[in-house]
Every structure is written in C-alpha cells, then in structure tokens.
Amino acid sequence: GQSLEQPSEVTAVEGAIVQINCTYQTSGFNGLFWYQQHAGEAPTFLSYNVLDGLEEKGRFSSFLSRSKGYSYLLLKELQMKDSASYLCAVRSGDYKLSFGAGTTVTVRA
C-alpha cells in the first residue's frame, strides 16, 4: 500500500517562507500532487510533479525527489490568505491517489 507523512502544523509570520515536507512510500509512481484546502472548502489543485526537480508557480514551488520518496511545497512571501491545510497526494503504479493527513499552516500578522 501507500503511506505519506507530513507535519501536522506549521506557523509563520506574514512575508516569511514556509517549507512543507512530504515523504512517501508507494508501489510504483505516477506523480505527486499538492492541494490547498481552506477550512470548510474544497481542496484546490496547486501543483503536480512527476519528474525530479523544482516546479515554480508564482509564490508557490514544489520539489520532487523520486529516489528519496520526498517532496516539499515552498510558500514564499506568506500572506494571511495562505492560512489553510496543505495536502500532498501520490499516485501509485495502479493510478490510485492516496493523500497525506495534511499540514495546517497558520500565518500570523
């Protein structure tokens, strides 16, 4: 089966940089996703990595190392609206998507 680990909570101040790590074990690999979920709302897609390296999308970047079973999401120039839960999810060899428990990011003024 699949297992994913990510920290439960992170707190940072506005304007700071936050890195959320995700380690995974999976049978086969067909990509890793990051989603953002505000309280009471639907998860929304942030990024997708299938090859090693860094994908940058505005203030958010995501990194993948397949050999280490490791990814991180980097949030730069933190804003209050970035307070949310961040979910990593891995698609295994049979194309099933498994999610981590999520990291709650709290941004303080």
Partner 1 sequence: ETGVTQTPRHLVMGMTNKKSLKCEQHLGHNAMYWYKQSAKKPLELMFVYNFKEQTENNSVPSRFSPECPNSSHLFLHLHTLQPEDSALYLCASSQEEGTSGHEQYFGPGTRLTVT
Residues in contact with partner 1 by the rule CB under 8 A:
4, 8, 30-31, 33, 35, 41-45, 48, 50, 87, 89, 91, 95-102
DSSP code per residue over 17-77: -EEEEEEEE-SS---EEEEEE-TTS--EEEEEE-SSEEEEETTEEEEEETTTTEEEEEE-S
CA distance 55 to 52: 9
Q: How far is the CB of 76 from partner 1 (least distance, A)?
A: 22
Q: How far is the CB of 90 from partner 1 (least distance, A)?
A: 11
CA distance 107 to 18: 10
Q: How far is the CB of 15 from partner 1 (least distance, A)?
A: 29
Residue closer to partner 1, measured from CB, 15 or 93: 93
Residue closer to partner 1, measured from CB, 18 or 46: 46
Please give the structure tokens belonging to residue 67: 């050999």
Residue closer to partner 1, measured from CB, 44 or 79: 44
Residue closer to partner 1, measured from CB, 31 or 61: 31
CA distance 98 to 104: 18
Q: How far is the CB of 30 from partner 1 (least distance, A)?
A: 5
